[in-house]
Amino acid sequence: MSGVVPTAPEQPAGEMENQTKPPDPRPDAPPEYNSHFLPGPPGTAVPPPTGYPGGLPMGYYSPQQPSTFPLYQPVGGIHPVRYQPGKYPMPNQSVPITWMSGPTPMANCPPGLEYLVQLDNIHVLQHFEPLEMMTCFETNNRYDIKNNSDQMVYIVTEDTDDFTRNAYRTLRPFVLRVTDCMGREIMTMQRPFRCTCCCFCCPSARQELEVQCPPGVTIGFVAEHWNLCRAVYSIQNEKKENVMRVRGPCSTYGCGSDSVFEVKSLDGISNIGSIIRKWNGLLSAMADADHFDIHFPLDLDVKMKAMIFGACFLIDFMYFERSPPQRSR
pLDDT digits (tens, 9 = 90+) for 266-305: 998 899 999 999 887 655 555 557 899 999 999 999 999 9
**Predicted pLDDT at 297:** 96
Q: Positive or negative CA dihedral for 300, 303, 305, 308? A: negative
Phi-psi region for residue 18, left (φ > 0), alpha (ψ -120 to 50) or beta? alpha
> What pLDDT digit, counting tens, does each position of 40-79 carry?
566 555 554 444 344 444 444 333 333 333 334 444 444 4
Those residues with Cβ within 8 angstroms of residue 159's Cβ, 6 or more apart along the chain or in another chain: 30, 33, 140, 174, 175, 176, 177
User: CA 288, CA 238: separation in Å to the nearest integer?
Assistant: 32
Question: What does the mean pLDDT of the chain come to?
Answer: 74
Buried b (16+ CB within 10 A) or exposed e, 84-117: beebbbbeeeeeebbbbebbebbeebbbbbbbbb
DSSP letter (8 states) at residue 157? E
- Contact yes or no for 171/193 (Cβ under 8 A): yes
Query: Is the pLDDT assigned to residue 4 strictly greater than 80?
Result: no
**Predicted pLDDT at 120:** 95
User: CA 189, CA 175: separation in Å to the nearest integer?
Assistant: 6
Listed ranges 105-109, 222-226, 252-256; the one with the highest mean pLDDT: 222-226
Buried b (16+ CB within 10 A) or exposed e, 7-46: eeeeeeeeeeeeeeeeeeeeeeeeeeeebeeeebeebeeb
User: CA 63, CA 56: separation in Å to the nearest integer?
Assistant: 10
Query: Is the pLDDT assigned to residue 196 strictly greater than 60?
Result: yes
User: CA 294, CA 312: separation in Å to the nearest integer?
Assistant: 8
User: CA 250, CA 259: separation in Å to the nearest integer?
Assistant: 10
Q: Where are the domains of the chain?
A: 113-221+274-320
**Predicted pLDDT at 279:** 82
Query: Is the pLDDT assigned to residue 244 strictly greater than 90?
Result: yes
Q: What mean pLDDT do residues 178-198 have?
A: 85
